[in-house]
Amino acid sequence: MSQNFDRQYQPRFDFGKYKGIIISIALFLLLDASVLLFNFYVSFEIADDAVGVNLAGRQRMLSQRMAKTLFVLDASRDDPIGFKTAFDELQLSKGLFDETLNAFTRGGNVRGAGNQTVTLAPVSSQAGQDSLRNATELWRSYKTAIENFAIDFQQGADYQSSLTVAVAMARVHNLAILSLMNDLTIDLEKVAASKATRLQIIQTVGISLAIINFLFIMFHFVRQLRDSDKVIEKARRETSEILETVNEGLFLIDKDLVLGEQHSARLIDVLGPQEFAGKSFHALLENIVSEKAAETASDFIELLFDPKVKEKLIGDLNPLSLVEVNIAQSNGGFLTKHLQFSFARAYQKDENDIQTISHVLVTVLDITERVKLERALNESRKHNESQLEMITGLLHTHPALLKEFLANSFDCFNRINSILRQPAKTAQSVRDKATSIFREIHNFKGEAASLKLEFFECAAHKMEDTLALLRDKRDLTGNDYLGLTVQLESLISYTQQVEHLTEKLGQFAVVSTSEPRHVSHKHITGSRRDDGWGHLDDLVQNIAMRNGKLVKFVASGLTEIDLDSQYQQKIKDICIQLLRNAVVHGIEPPRDRELSEKPLIGRIDLRLAKISESEMELTVMDDGKGLDYDAIRTKAIATGKWPEEEIESWTNKHLLGLIFQEGFSTANEISIDAGRGVGMESVMSHVLAQRGKISVSSRKGRHCRFVITLPILYANASEEIAA
Partner 1 sequence: MLSLMIVDDSNIIRRKIERCNDSDKFRVVASAANGAEALDLFKQTRPQVVTMDLTMPEMDGIACIQQLMAMDSNLRILVISALSDKATGIEALKKGARGFLCKPFTDDQLLEALTELTDD
Partner 2 sequence: MSQETLQVFIDGVVNYFQHTNDKDVKVGTPYLVENNNPAAYDVTGIIGISGPYRGCVYFTAPRILLKHLLLSIGEMDTSNEHIFDLVGEVANTISGNARSRFGHEFMISVPVMIEGAPNQIHLPSRMRSYVIPVYWKAYHAAVVICLEQ
Residues lying near partner 2 in the complex (CB under 8 A) are found at 290-292, 326, 328-329, 331-334, 336, 417, 419-425, 430, 433, 477-479, 481-483, 485-486, 488-489, 492
Which of 312, 691 has the CB closer to partner 1? 312
Q: Tell me which of partner 1, partner 2, none is bound by residue 385, counting a contact when its beta carbon lies within the kind-specific cut-off of 5 to 8 angstroms.
A: none
Q: Tell me which of partner 2, partner 1, none is bound by residue 313, counting a contact when its beta carbon lies within the kind-specific cut-off of 5 to 8 angstroms.
A: partner 1
| 536-573 b/e (C-beta count within 10 Å ≥ 16 → b) | bbbbbbbbbeebebbbbbebebbbebebbbebbbbbbb
CA distances, 563 to each of 77, 555, 687 (Å): 193, 17, 16
Q: Please, which of residues 373-412 interact with partner 1 by CB under 8 A? A: none
Q: Tell me which of partner 1, partner 2, none is bound by residue 328, counting a contact when its beta carbon lies within the kind-specific cut-off of 5 to 8 angstroms.
A: partner 2
Which of 300, 347 has the CB closer to partner 1? 300
Strands (E), 658-702: 693-699
Which of 124, 278, 308, 723 is the binder for partner 1 (CB under 8 A)?
308
Q: Tell me which of partner 1, partner 2, none is bound by residue 299, counting a contact when its beta carbon lies within the kind-specific cut-off of 5 to 8 angstroms.
A: partner 1
Which of 340, 514 has the CB closer to partner 1? 340
Query: Nearest distance from residue 295's CB to partner 1, in Å?
Result: 8
| Residue 263: strand pairing partners | 251
Which of 297, 434 has the CB closer to partner 1? 297
Is residue 299 within the footprint of partner 1 (CB under 8 A)?
A: yes
Amino acid at 169: M
Nearest to 481 by CA among 563, 572, 417: 417
- Cα–Cα distance, 230 to 76 (Å, whole number): 97
Query: Nearest distance from residue 634's CB to partner 2, in Å?
Result: 35
Q: Is the dihedral of CA 224, 225, 227, 231 positive or negative?
A: positive
Amino acid at 563: L
Which of 30, 328 has the CB closer to partner 2? 328
Q: Tell me which of partner 1, partner 2, none is bound by residue 308, counting a contact when its beta carbon lies within the kind-specific cut-off of 5 to 8 angstroms.
A: partner 1
What is the DSSP secondary structure assignment for residue 719, as one 8-state letter? G
What is the DSSP secondary structure assignment for residue 694, as one 8-state letter? E
Query: Nearest distance from residue 269's CB to partner 2, in Å?
Result: 19
Phi/psi of residue 600, each to 5°?
-60, -40
Which of 128, 260, 319, 692 is the binder for partner 1 (CB under 8 A)?
319
Is the backbone of residue 650 left (phi > 0), alpha (psi -120 to 50) or beta? Answer: beta
Name the H helices within 554-606: 565-581, 590-595
Is residue 303 within the footprint of partner 1 (CB under 8 A)?
A: yes
Q: Tell me which of partner 1, partner 2, none is bound by residue 302, counting a contact when its beta carbon lies within the kind-specific cut-off of 5 to 8 angstroms.
A: partner 1
Is residue 474 within the footprint of partner 1 (CB under 8 A)?
A: no
Which of 78, 256, 275, 316 is the binder for partner 1 (CB under 8 A)?
316
Q: Tell me which of partner 1, partner 2, none is bound by residue 300, counting a contact when its beta carbon lies within the kind-specific cut-off of 5 to 8 angstroms.
A: partner 1
Q: Tell me which of partner 2, partner 1, none is bound by residue 261, counting a contact when its beta carbon lies within the kind-specific cut-off of 5 to 8 angstroms.
A: none
- Residue span 495-534 as binding mask against partner 1, x where in contact by CB under 8 A, dash where not: ----------------------------------------
Candidate segments 312-320, 387-395, 469-477, 615-623, binder of partner 1 by CB under 8 A: 312-320
Is residue 492 within the footprint of partner 1 (CB under 8 A)?
A: no
For residue 78, with 0-12 CB atoms within 10 Å meaning exposed, 13-18 middle and 19 or more buried, which class applies?
A: exposed
Q: Tell me which of partner 1, partner 2, none is bound by residue 164, counting a contact when its beta carbon lies within the kind-specific cut-off of 5 to 8 angstroms.
A: none
Is residue 344 within the footprint of partner 1 (CB under 8 A)?
A: no
Which of 234, 375 has the CB closer to partner 2? 375
β-strand pairing of 602-610 with 551-556? parallel
Helix (H) or strand (E) holding 606: strand 602-610
Which of 295, 594 has the CB closer to partner 1? 295
Query: Nearest distance from residue 326's CB to partner 1, in Å?
Result: 20
Q: Are 210 and 32 in contact (CB under 8 A)?
A: yes
- Cα–Cα distance, 188 to 53 (Å, whole number): 6
Q: Tell me which of partner 1, partner 2, none is bound by residue 482, counting a contact when its beta carbon lies within the kind-specific cut-off of 5 to 8 angstroms.
A: partner 2
Which of 311, 538 has the CB closer to partner 1? 311
Q: Tell me which of partner 1, partner 2, none is bound by residue 512, counting a contact when its beta carbon lies within the kind-specific cut-off of 5 to 8 angstroms.
A: none
Query: Nearest distance from residue 427's CB to partner 2, in Å?
Result: 10
Q: Tell me which of partner 1, partner 2, none is bound by residue 533, counting a contact when its beta carbon lies within the kind-specific cut-off of 5 to 8 angstroms.
A: none
Candidate segments 15-23, 261-269, 304-312, 598-606, binder of partner 1 by CB under 8 A: 304-312
Q: What is the largest CA-CA distance in the chain?
A: 209
Give the three-state DSSP class for 714.
Answer: strand
Nearest to 455 by CA among 491, 402, 406: 491
| Residue 705: strand pairing partners | 621, 697
Secondary structure in 3-state letters for 250-262: EEEECCCCEEEEE
Which of 116, 312, 513, 519 is the binder for partner 1 (CB under 8 A)?
312
For residue 237, with 0-12 CB atoms within 10 Å meaning exposed, 13-18 middle and 19 or more buried, which class applies?
A: exposed
Q: Are 263 and 277 in contact (CB under 8 A)?
A: yes
Residue 113: Cβ within 10 Å count: 10
Q: Tell me which of partner 1, partner 2, none is bound by residue 486, counting a contact when its beta carbon lies within the kind-specific cut-off of 5 to 8 angstroms.
A: partner 2
Query: Nearest distance from residue 689's CB to partner 2, in Å?
Result: 24
Beta-carbon contacts of residue 535 (< 8 Å; ≥ 6 apart): 397, 398, 401, 450, 451
List contacts with partner 1 (CB under 8 A). 292, 295-296, 299-300, 302-303, 306, 308-310, 312-314, 316-319
